[in-house]
A and B are shown apart, each in its own frame.
Chain A
Amino acid sequence: MKVIEAENLTKIFNKSLIAVDHISFSVYEGEIFGFLGPNGAGKTTTINMLITLLKPTEGRASVLGFDVVKQANEVRKVIGVVPQEFTADEDLTAYENIMLCASLYGIPSNIAKDRAMELLKLVELIDFKDKRVETFSGGMRRRLELACGLINRPRILFLDEPTLGLDVQTRAAIWDYIKLLKEEYNMTIFMTTHYLEEADVLCDRIAIIDHGKIIKIGKPSQLKDSLGGDIITITISGNEDITDVIKEIKNVKEVRKENSTYRVKVENGEIVAPLIIEAIRKRNYIVTRLSLTKPTLNEVYLECTGRAFRDGNDSEDFKFKRLHLWRARGK
Chain B
Amino acid sequence: MEGERKMNEIRPSFLRGFLALTYRELKKWLNDPIMIVMLILQPLIWMGLLGKSINIQGLFSAENIEIPSEIILPGIATIPPSQGFIILNGTYLSRIFEDIGSKIMQSIFGVEDYFSFMSIGMISMIVVMTTMFSGISIVWDRRLGFLDKVISTPVSRAAIIFSKIANSTLRAIFQASVILALAYLLGLRISNTFTIMNILGIYLAIFLMSAGLSSIFIAFSIRSTRVERPMQLINLIMMPLIFSSNIFFPTELMPNWLQAVVNINPITYLTDAIRQLTIMEINVQALIIDFIYLSIFATILTVIGIVLSWYYLTK
A positions within 8 Å CB-CB of B: 51-53, 55, 73, 76-79, 81, 83, 85-92, 96, 99-101, 103-108, 111, 148, 152-153, 155, 327, 330
Contact = CB atoms under 8 A, between A and B. Distances in A.
A106 B10 contact: yes
B276 to A, nearest CB: 39
Contact of A104 (B6, B148, B155, B315): B155
Contacts of A153: 6, 9
Given A89-B146, A91-B27, A108-B9, A51 B154 contact: no
Nearest to B3: A155
A92 B27 CA distance: 8
Contacts of A90: 144
Interface in B1-53: 3, 6-7, 9-13, 16-17, 19-21, 24, 27-28, 31-32
B7 A77 contact: yes
B13 A106 contact: yes
Nearest to B141: A89
B75 interface: no
A108 B150 CA distance: 18
B285 interface: no
A103 B160 CA distance: 12
A99 B150 CA distance: 13
Contacts of B13: 106
B228 to A, nearest CB: 12
Interface of B: 3, 6-7, 9-13, 16-17, 19-21, 24, 27-28, 31-32, 140, 143-146, 148-155, 315
B10 A152 contact: yes
Given A108-B9, A155-B3, 4 more contacts: A77-B7, A85-B144, A103-B20, A330-B143
Shortest Cβ-Cβ A-B pairs, 7 listed? A103-B20, A87-B145, A106-B12, A87-B149, A85-B145, A76-B154, A104-B153
Contacts of A88: 146
A96 B27 contact: yes
Contacts of A111: 9
Contacts of A53: 148, 151-152
Main SS at interface, chain B:
helix
Contacts of A87: 144-146, 148-149
Contacts of B155: 104-106
B120 to A, nearest CB: 33
A103 B19 contact: yes
9 contacts: A77-B12, A78-B3, A81-B152, A85-B144, A89-B24, A99-B20, A106-B12, A108-B11, A153-B9
B213 to A, nearest CB: 25
A272 to B, nearest CB: 43
A83 B148 contact: yes
Nearest to B146: A87
B28 A91 contact: yes
A107 B11 CA distance: 6
A91 B6 contact: no
Nearest to A97: B24
A101 B153 contact: yes
A51 B145 CA distance: 14
Contacts of B21: 100, 104
Contacts of A85: 144-145, 148
B31 to A, nearest CB: 6
A103 B156 CA distance: 11
Contacts of A101: 149, 153
A155 B6 CA distance: 9
A150 to B, nearest CB: 12
Given A55-B315, A83-B145, A105 B154 contact: yes
B152 A51 contact: yes
Contacts of B153: 76, 101, 104-105, 152
Contacts of B150: 104
A152 B5 CA distance: 12
A46 to B, nearest CB: 14
A152 B151 CA distance: 15
Contacts of A106: 10-13, 16-17, 154-155
A79 B281 CA distance: 60
B27 A77 contact: no
Contact of B152 (A76, A89, A103): A76
B92 to A, nearest CB: 64
A104 B17 contact: yes
Contacts of A330: 140, 143
Contacts of A76: 152-154
A292 B44 CA distance: 78
A105 B31 CA distance: 25
A234 to B, nearest CB: 52
Nearest to B19: A103
A52 B152 contact: yes
Nearest to A82: B149
